[in-house]
Structure 1
């Protein structure tokens, strides 16, 4: 398998300007395809985590960077987890995109704790937590409560 192709989101991560933001856009069709059933998000997300783990480990090995900028598979996965609690309506997809990117960039507590995990887990887990937190916030906003 071409691990670089996977890690960079079909080389989308090689875009010079805001690769994480552009990479997050790759998560939109995935969220729409799988986001209508919470168990499907969980099943695909956990399976995808292991694929992401292998590809990120590969990229860390060849770049010797702790969190290579061209790796965007973590953003794709994190965005998918935004839809564990809410369905991917147009409103939810847009709100999730902006909220997820904000949380991913700022990395408030507890997201910052997961970024400290060793190796590829640290690259991926902070985005998963940002996605879960985004989903929780969206649930509160969209359910009116």
Structure 2
């Protein structure tokens, strides 16, 4: 369970294990995209969410901390969600995934911002104090980051101006 929750030990890196988890999600997400495209990344995100929920539930049941900092599978899931528009957009336009690097950067930075600041629904999910809350706050942060990334891409490409 600890192997899944820590994303193969990445959660034990210091400082800022959540940022390390998000960073580790980027190359793994890229490899998933190269191997199977958007739908493989989507499927991996669902699998990681379920596995992370099960692992987190088991781990927090044995301790006092409802969200140990070394649990970073939630950051991986949220970061992959933040990359959905980039992955889908690259596939739709028929370009290499790396060519949308501004979207990768924006997705990463925005996800970390929403995950750290925990605005609105992100904070509500985090305050649940259970395994679902641990996973859900990062899912919501990932969705927020994805939406803002879409808006920024629209502005950059003149669609929203």
Query: Could you state the TM-score of these two structures normalised by the residue count of structure 2?
Result: 0.80
Structure 2 match to 1:75: 75
Matches within 5 A, 1:121-132: 121-132=132-143
Structure with the higher fraction of residues in helix conformation? 2
Q: Rg larger in 1 or in 2?
A: 2
CA contact (8 A) 1:115 1:126 kept: yes
Q: Aligned match of 2:3 in 2, 5, 8?
A: 5
Deviation at 1:93, TM superposition (A): 1.2
Query: Could you state the TM-score of these two structures normalised by the residue count of structure 1?
Result: 0.88
Matches within 5 A, 1:1-145: 3-34=1-32, 36-37=37-38, 39-87=39-87, 89-144=100-155, 145=160
CA contact (8 A) 2:111 2:141 kept: yes
Separation in structure 1 between the aligned mates of residue 114 and residue 78 of structure 2, nearest angstrom: 11
Q: Which runs of 5+ in 1 are unaligned?
A: none
Q: Deviations over 1:66-123 (max 9, x none)?
A: 1111101100110000122233522111111111111100001121111133511000
Q: Secondary structure at the match of 1:125?
A: helix
Deviating runs (4+, > 3 A) in structure 1?
A: 33-36, 39-42
CA contact (8 A) 1:75 1:127 kept: yes
Aligned length: 142
CA contact (8 A) 1:23 1:73 kept: yes
Separation in structure 2 between the aligned mates of residue 121 and residue 27 of structure 1, nearest angstrom: 20
